[in-house]
Amino acid sequence: MQDWLSQNEDNFALIDGFFRADILREQTSEDNIPVLIVGPQFYRLGGFDKRRVMTTLDTVYGITESGKHPTIILKDWATKRQIGLFTRDGLQIE
């Protein structure tokens, strides 16, 4: 994850690349909890890279760090069903 951030001058452009590649599809919230809709390419990533994507996103935006939003809910792009959670402790896929 640190490699990805150190190799990119603009961390937001790196995150935008995840969206362009359809790894991530949409950011929203439900009941004031951050929700990330993952795209079909998310499923093609191995577990290590899924964790790296989520850790990178969290590092850039500081979502779980603030204490205000300790959890990010992950949902599938097609079914809108919850597929996992990301917290300070890491990624948990259901």
Provide the residue-wise pLDDT of the chain in tens; the chain has 94 residues: 456 555 566 778 889 999 999 999 999 999 989 999 999 999 999 999 999 999 999 988 888 887 777 899 999 999 999 999 999 999 999 8
pLDDT for the residue numbered 12:
80
Tokens coding 42: 């998310």
**Hey, which bits of the chain come out as E strands?**
24-30, 33-38, 71-76, 82-87, 90-93
- CA-based angle 49:51:54, to the nearest 5? 110
Candidates 77, 5, 12; CA nearest to 43 is: 77
